[in-house]
Amino acid sequence: MHEFKAESGFASRKTGVASAYPAFGRQSRTTLESGNTPMYHMFHDSERCILCYSCEVHCKLEHDVPVGPRLVRMIQVGPKVVGGKLKSTFVYLSCHHCDPAPCVSACPTGAMQKRADGIVFVDEPACIGCKTCITACPWGTPQYNPRTKKVIKCDYCKDRVDRGLWPACAQMCATHCLYFGNINEYANVLRERYARRIAESVEIQAGGATVAR
């Protein structure tokens, strides 16, 4: 069994930070550091995902979201026949933090805002629950909270990000299939992972095993 470890230089651990979840080893999930203002992005590795809904559960716990609205949604596509076998694909869906963001321009009170690092969030005191942003969003990301009578949405757990931590969904992902950080670093991260996969395949072939393509 492979042990999933962070890519070299992908994340730096920071300690002494209070959080809803404890920081421990790989799961401390610290954000990438950058000399300039980072533009954050969430990457979902569907090959590792097992549709356990851990991301949805911990998102609700972190933000105290009642039954109904889902700031993070896992969607199953399939099963369908691929190569003579049944196969399902799991899709992670949360806010895309669009640029420009239609929900921000549509909001009549300025409650929907976009930060310099790309994170789109709701200024709750300014929200009047008119649901205009819900109508404007092509992804159905903003959700109406029946408890507060206001709109809520994925904001990458911005309070955690500001403390150097990953969003709760990524930190508590059971199979480490969620990665969060500066979008400008992702090309290098994905190249490293692809190169490592090729190296492992070559090693397996050298040992006489058959590698599925």
Please write the tens of the pLDDT for every residue from 173-186. Answer: 999 889 898 887 77
Share of the chain above pLDDT 90, in %: 55
Task: State yes or no: pLDDT of 4 exceeds 60.
Answer: no
Residue 163's pLDDT is what?
93
Task: State yes or no: pLDDT of 136 exceeds 60.
Answer: yes
Assigned CATH for 95-153: 3.30.70.20
In 46-171, the DSSP E strands lie at 73-82, 85-93, 112-114, 120-122, 143-145, 150-152
pLDDT, tens digit, 9 for 90 and up, residues 79-104: 999 888 898 889 999 999 998 999 99
Indicate the pLDDT class of residue 147, thresholds 50, 70 and 90.
very high
Residue by residue, DSSP assigns 143-206 as EEETTTTEEE---TTHHHHHTTB--HHHHT-TT--EEEEEGGGHHHHHHHHHHHHHHHHHHHHH
Contact criterion met (CB below 8 Å) for 87 and 80: yes
Indicate the pLDDT class of residue 2, thresholds 50, 70 and 90.
very low
Task: State yes or no: pLDDT of 167 exceeds 80.
Answer: yes
Residue 3's pLDDT is what?
40
Q: Where are the domains of the chain?
A: 1-94+155-183, 95-153
Contact criterion met (CB below 8 Å) for 110 and 123: yes
Task: State yes or no: pLDDT of 21 exceeds 50.
Answer: no
Residue 103's pLDDT is what?
96
The residue type found at 147 is R
Closest CA to 22 of 201, 169, 172: 172
In this structure, the chain runs to a length of: 213
Identify the CATH assignment for 1-94+155-183 out of 3.40.50.620, 3.40.50.10320, 3.30.70.1450, 3.30.70.20.
3.30.70.20
Give the global pTM. 0.72
Closest CA to 181 of 167, 200, 191, 201: 167
